Structure 1
C-alpha cells in the first residue's frame, strides 16, 4: 500500500481546522489544531492549551493523542496538524517523541499545513529518526 493510501486527507484537514478554533492560546496567540486518524477510521481532534508558565502547555498533537488513548484508541494511521504563518510548523520535539510511542516502525504519516494552503508531509521516522525506545 502506498504512502497515504486510503487516508482522507481532506477530512483530516477539515477536522484540524475546526478544532483549531477551540485552541486556548491567550499568551502566544498561536492557534494549532490536530486531527488524528485511528486504524478504525475514527478522527480524534486536539488543540493547543496554553498555560502562563508555558512548560505546562499542552500541544495540539499531544492533546489529540491523549484524547484518543482516553477513548481506548492506540492504533494510529495519520495526523494532520494546522498551524498559522506562511509555512507549516512541524510538531515540537516532545510531540514527535509522543507520536513515535504510537508508531513502532515510524510510518505514522504527519501532514503539516496552514490555512493558506501551504503543506508538507512527513513520517514520524523522518521527523524523529532516532526516537527513544525502551
Structure 2
C-alpha cells in the first residue's frame, strides 16, 4: 500500500488486519482429505463451467471465491467424478444464482449434484456451520 495520503497509523491498522484476518491469501493450495472411497471413472467436465465462473466472480468477487475454495470447501471430500474445484464453483453458483436442485441438471446430473448438496448440508453440516461462524 502506498503511503501517499494515508496516515501512518491507518497503514499500521491495515497491515494488522491483513496479518490477522487475511493470512489465507498466502497459504499454499490445500489438498483434500484422503477419501474412503475409490472413484474409478475418469474426471468428467461440468457443462457451462465458464458461465458459472463468470456469474460467481461477478456476484462475489475473487477474494470471496478464493476464500470459499481454499478455506471451507477443502475440509471434506465431495463425491463425484468431477474436479474438486469445479464442484466447489458449481456449488457456489447454486447459491448465488438461485437455481434449484432440478435446474442444476443442465450442468451436471441431478444425482451427482445432490450427492454434493447432501454432503454439505446433511453429512457435514456441523463442520461447515462451525467454520462459517469462525
> Fold-level match, TM-score > 0.5?
no
Q: TM-score scaled to structure 1, two decimals?
A: 0.25
Q: Which has the higher contact order (CA 8 A, sep 6+)?
A: 2
Q: Identify the structure with the greater helix proportion.
A: 2
Q: TM-score scaled to structure 2, two decimals?
A: 0.25
Which one has a bigger Cα radius of gyration? 2
